[in-house]
Amino acid sequence: MTTYAHSTAAVDPADPAHASALEVAGRLLSLLGETTTEPRPDTQLEALTLAVAADLPVLLWGEPGVGKTAALTQLAASLELPLTTVIASVHEPSDFSGLPVVGDDPAVQGVPMAPPDWAVRLVRAGRGLLFLDELSTAPPAVQAALLRLVLERRIGALRLPPGVRIVAAANPRASAADGWELSPPLANRFVHLPWAHDHDVVVRGLGGTWPRATLPRLDAEKLPEAVAHARRAVCGLLSARPGLVHRLPTGETRRGGAWPSPRSWESTLRLIAFATAAGSSREVLSLLVRGAVGDGPGLELLASLDRMDLPDPEELLVDPAGAALPERGDLRQAVLDGVVAAVRKRPERSRWDAAWALLVRAVETGAPDLVVVPATTLAALRREDWDVPASIERLTGVVSLSRQADHVAARTAVAAKARR
């Protein structure tokens, strides 16, 4: 028979020698949990904080274990916001639409919809970060109940205060436990951000130092300019491409991601304004724009934004020698094409010569192959009484422009006579 001896001697809790095994384990766990943060460039974290600042619901997509939940926990701590985590898949639809509560006289007072306790706590706090985790495991009925929460911030008869931000996380269907595709109405309410681990961040974080999440600093003097810039960009693109205003994807998987609609374009406009006021990088803006309206429309908008910042072709024709051309090849090509188009619109000998001088400058300061197409087009604009400028000789080796200009002029003259 086993017997157990009990010591009757007095035990000092402060004496390490007499601490229980669990107390020692607790101290070790406490030491392991002691971490610090540091400012560190992180594109995906900056995109997340900017979308949170813009008060738009964000959905982080990533494989299990890449740190989505940890990032949200650290974000809430950095912003000093109480974190409320709700696992959508373990709730019933009534948990988000509200539970009916029958009063004394339902025929007169109606039946109010009581909100869950976590929503009441958020309202009492007046601020907080609502984290909807494992969203891709929520069945369609629960997703439908989430629509009003995500868009209108309403749960039953309760409305969440403006100080509450909503962020969700999901695993791709292939790696989600009993996963579902998101319904198009729910997906269209989020800014979708891919979330992947960064090797250096993980290694340094396991060493005790993680990146610090901070809200972007908005330049108060740039706010009106940022709004005007965002409206000009979105409205300019949609005026030229009306088919992009609303385009529901055909595939079920793509419908569960970002796609263009009037709602998501409004979110995009807000994101551009915030990114402009914060001076965010193009990489951050690209993540946000594509996360709101999808890759195709987002890339078209980014290209449109790039063109908005290009120099005026007329100003370049006035002073080609002092022209500052973009470094990026696609933008430089767009500038040169714009200059040629300006000459075609108003063909004059001086403007034609200035365009050639600009092409020479482009060859001297960048990739020569970008000049070939605009040079060929410019050569075709030559009139019979226009001498080939001496500057073309400096382009020898890129294309044989002198002879090509003569040949094009000859063919143009023959074609004109044949038409007559």
- Chain position carrying tokens 């993540």: 287
Q: How far apart are CA 60 and CA 414, in angstroms?
A: 63
> To 5 degrees, how large is the angle CA 167–CA 71–CA 267?
35
Running DSSP on this structure, what letter comes out for residue 388?
P
Q: Look up the pTM and report it.
A: 0.74
pLDDT of residue 201: 84
Q: Which residues contact 173 (CB under 8 A, 6 or more apart)?
A: 136, 179, 180, 181, 253
Q: How far apart are CA 7 and CA 196, in angstroms?
A: 54
Q: How far is Cα of residue 287 from the mean position of the Cα atoms in its chain? A: 3
Q: How far apart are CA 1 and CA 248, in angstroms?
A: 75
pLDDT of residue 404: 54
Query: At what angle are helices 223-240 and 295-308 packed, to 10 degrees?
Result: 120
pLDDT of residue 211: 84
pLDDT of residue 269: 97
Residue 249's SS3 state is coil
pLDDT of residue 174: 63
Residue 209's SS3 state is strand
- Chain position carrying tokens 């607790």: 26
Q: Identity (one letter) of the amino acid at 379?
A: A
pLDDT of residue 210: 83
Q: How far apart are CA 228 and CA 236, in angstroms?
A: 12
Q: Which residues of the chain have pLDDT under 70?
A: 1-19, 102-112, 173-179, 391, 393-420
Q: How far apart are CA 274 and CA 263, in angstroms?
A: 17
Q: How far apart are CA 74 and CA 209, in angstroms?
A: 12
3-state secondary structure 273-303: HHHHHHCCCHHHHHHHHHHHHCHHHHHHHHH
pLDDT of residue 402: 43
Q: How far apart are CA 339 and CA 320, in angstroms?
A: 10
Q: How far apart are CA 409 and CA 386, in angstroms?
A: 10
- Chain position carrying tokens 């579902």: 180
pLDDT of residue 4: 47
Task: Confirm if 271 and 288 have CB atoms less than 8 A apart.
Answer: yes
Query: At what angle are helices 372-380 and 349-365 packed, to 10 degrees?
Result: 170
Q: Identity (one letter) of the amino acid at 264?
A: S
Cβ-based burial of 255 (10 A; exposed 0-12, middle 13-18, buried ≥19): middle
Q: Which residues contact 365 (CB under 8 A, 6 or more apart)?
A: 325
* CA-wise closest residue to 319 among 365, 350, 344: 350
pLDDT of residue 155: 86
